[in-house]
Amino acid sequence: MQRSSRNLISASHPTLNLSYPTLESFVWNTLIRAHVHHPSDSPFTPLSVFLRMRYHAVRPDTHTFPFLLQSFTSPEYLSCGRSVHSLIIQLGLSDNVFVQTSLVNMYSSCGSFHLARQVFDEIPQPDSASWNSLLNGYVKAGMVIAARKAFDSMPSRNTVSWSCMMEGYVRSGQYMNALLLFRKMQKTREELIIPNEFTMSVLLSACGKLGALEHGKWAHCYIEKRGMQIGNVLGTSLIDMYAKCGCIERAKFVFENLGPNKDVKAWTAMISGLAMNGHKEECLDLFSKVIGSGVNPNGVTFISALSACVHSGAVALGKSIFEKMQNRYHISPSLQHYGCMVDLYARAGLLGEAWSLVESMPMQPDVLVWGSLLSGARTSGDIKTCEASLSKILELEPNNTGAHVLLANAYAKMGRWKDVRRVRAQMETKGIKKVPGCSLVEVDGTVHEFHVGDESQPDRMKIYMMLDEMLRRIRMEGYASNTEEVTVDIAEEEGKELAVSRHSEKLAVAFAIMKTRPGVPVRVVNNIRMCRDCHAAVKMISLVYGREISVRDCNRFHHFAGGACNCNDYW
């Protein structure tokens, strides 16, 4: 049983009797498949079962290796996989397309894409399954350009092909391309191209990332029209989509209609959605109900609950949840859990506690942990902690953009323009560019994209006129520009005000108000943290124009109404 993968070939010694009845290989194949699909039910691995099969001189067949190769799912299995491949060649099974397709999957999963491609190229007439295996390998590796080339080269495509390519776009952040590909899929004349549960889950994910509520609603209607059962998979995707679009009531409606058989993923999606949208009390109440439902919360569930504490400053409650996770549920904290706790302390200005936790972590802190400390220190004006955190981040990621920007912002807030220029010079020397602010807003079913000082819009003159009119009206109500975070040394205050007035979220809000009827809610998705000036401006805009405005930044949702935000200015 302890025989290593190096002995796989020697186990096929020609003196062994390999002519056992087919039934015996069928039984062993069934055992291997069972251990692949239910790994926690047995102390044995699929490989150990296979070695025992070889020990009993049972000849593997064309079904054995596809089952076995499914268990080789990471680079550490590459050596075993290559040994199995050698045995496949020795047994004369290397020309079987079923086995070859499994080898393509295995090499892709183990990160050896050149070998995956080499095996694929040796298939005389690859079928749809072979093409999909290659496509899936590229997608998992984030090689979206290579995936699209493979997709376009396929002689025929099925639902799996289209869904896989859509997933590749979603994984690489090309959400609009995923939507466009779905539209193209609907127009194709190829037979049996019918979106399935996985296709719709990927589509809903793209809608959620874009904040494209109208597209998401259409997808929901399509699911119901096609008679698809909304079980835990589609239900969780719908909950996540509605929550990320800021439509928490619809998310709750889907959650409640899943019935009593909701799994932990559905519970976690709802808890996460409530936390993201600033509904702390409901989030934590639902978190407590998970226990009563008979579903055990997992590590991700606790991350969602801790996030609610982070964004509301509930330090004591966060500590209690963190301790309960370990003591009651015996879940060892991951880097993400520690990151939440560091973020919780740092946002609350408890930098000493944050440092102590970082130093007591049983694993090395990652960029996100140090980034949380840096962000909290910046808010508190603790420049020494900012510099120390930046140093640690640069050790891990020398070209980290966000860390440089946060430090520059901290210096700018203190008026230390010489240090701001030094940080910006370092960024320029290293070729590091600040991620430009980008905001998305959906109007009449079309998603529009805005950048800082955007001049690319066809209606740019009207948009800027609308923006100037909005700023004029809110100034009459008491709004004053907050220029503390301007990281360019502009001598005149008027120049600084102009710089912050052209931020992408202001342009998106101006466009939406200009293009929609009075009273229609405005929903904006922002790629970076909302600055304090935009936050103050949008609060006042919601009052003056009588609009509900939601802005989802990289941390959370801000829901504005009547001159107030549900974050209570804590984010």
**Are 8 and 83 in contact, with CB atoms under 8 Å apart?**
yes
CA distances from 39 to 2, 84, 289 (A): 18, 20, 30
Spatial CB neighbours of 138, under 8 Å, sequence gap ≥ 6: 108, 113, 144, 146, 147, 150, 168
DSSP assignments along 224-285, one per residue: HHTT----HHHHHHHHHHHHHTT-HHHHHHHHHHTGGG--HHHHHHHHHHHHHTT-HHHHHH
Domains of the chain by residue range: 360-435, 438-483+497-565
Sign of CA dihedral 558, 560, 566, 569: positive
DSSP secondary structure code for residue 67 in this structure? H
Measured distance CA(271)–CA(257) in Å, rounded? 16
Residue with tokens 């993923």: 265
What SS3 state is found at 448? strand
Give the H or E element holding residue 437: none
Measured distance CA(559)–CA(564) in Å, rounded? 8
Measured distance CA(344)–CA(362) in Å, rounded? 19
> What backbone phi and psi angles, to 5 degrees, belong to 97?
-65, -30
pLDDT tens sequence for the chain (571 residues) = 334 444 554 444 433 344 444 458 888 999 898 888 887 666 778 999 999 898 888 899 999 999 999 999 889 999 999 999 999 999 999 999 999 999 999 999 998 989 999 999 999 999 999 999 999 999 988 999 999 999 999 999 999 999 999 999 999 999 999 999 999 999 887 666 899 999 999 999 999 999 999 999 999 999 999 999 999 999 999 999 999 999 999 999 999 999 888 999 999 999 999 999 999 999 999 999 997 788 899 999 999 999 999 988 999 999 999 999 999 999 999 999 999 999 999 999 999 999 999 999 999 999 989 988 988 888 888 889 988 988 898 889 888 888 888 788 778 877 788 888 888 888 888 888 877 889 999 999 899 999 988 788 888 899 999 999 999 999 999 998 876 655 544 444 444 566 678 899 999 999 999 999 999 999 999 998 898 899 999 999 999 999 999 999 988 899 999 999 999 888 7
Name the pTM for this structure: 0.84
Give the strand order in the sheet containing 564-565: 446-451, 438-443, 522-526, 549-552, 557-561, 564-565
**Are 115 and 77 in contact, with CB atoms under 8 Å apart?**
no
What SS3 state is found at 303? helix
In sequence order, the β-bridge partners of residue 446 are: 443
Measured distance CA(538)–CA(505) in Å, rounded? 9
What SS3 state is found at 137? helix
CATH superfamily of 360-435: Tetratricopeptide repeat domain (1.25.40.10)
